[in-house]
Amino acid sequence: MSKTPRFTECILFEDENFVFINKPSGISSLEDRNNKETNILQMAKRYCVDAQLCHRLDKETSGVMLIAKHNEAFKAMADKFENRNVHKVYHAICAGQLHVNNKAIVLPLSITAKGLAKVDIKNGKKATTLVSTIENFSSFTLLSCIPETGRLHQIRIHLASQNFPIVSDITYGGQYPYLSKLKRDFKTAKWENEQPMMQRVALHAHSLSFDAFEKKYSITAPYPKDFDVFLKLLAKYDKETAFYSPTI
């Protein structure tokens, strides 16, 4: 894993109430009982002693994350998240080509004994994700995903359930993408194995919007380097050529 950035390098915006950061992939939101590595909460408290996380992102997920600087702000946002008054948009790159516009995936989810998400029609909790195509390539699609509920791994399992798993999401059926599959004259250096174009789950928390303390907050997180480079490689070597695009 690359060197952990300084907390101040991750800040997108802050005021007297909140700090918005662009969370790097590979860093957990909270301390894992089996893992003593640096986590976002720990980094935030070093910056602001009263800092509290308003929500979490998976370890591999990058993107905008909201941190309250005082308890009143934390309580206000806990209420807003519970009542779905926070607009969250994620960008994901999935395998396959599809054309959708605000397609609702409505499937109840539960958690397995191993701590993973699964579709559970009988006993699962309601979960809804709105999916729209941003850009099509020949073998991949860049999607906008809006989770109307906040279940564990919701976007990941919802896309996988439609046979469009997120790139490199091995847990839910995704596969690593290799440039050699797209570039005819691709060659690796002698004695070296080819590395995937994207080595972690291709999911990025793109924006977060809400009203609080008589202010309108709307913050967007730029793509990190790995996500951006992957998209540029797709634009160069996996151009749109298909005539038929399946939908979900």
Give catalytic residues, as residue numbers.
Answer: 58
Residues 6+ apart with CB under 8 A from 24: 4, 5, 10, 62, 224
CA atoms within 13 A on the CB side of 70: 6
Q: Among residues 105, 99, 201, 202, which one has the least CA distance to residue 146?
A: 105
Could you tell me if 237 and 183 are in contact, meaning their C-beta atoms sit under 8 angstroms apart? yes
- Written as six digits, the tokens of 142 are 């860049």
Q: Among residues 36, 46, 60, which one has the least CA distance to residue 6?
A: 46
Could you tell me if 57 and 29 are in contact, meaning their C-beta atoms sit under 8 angstroms apart? yes
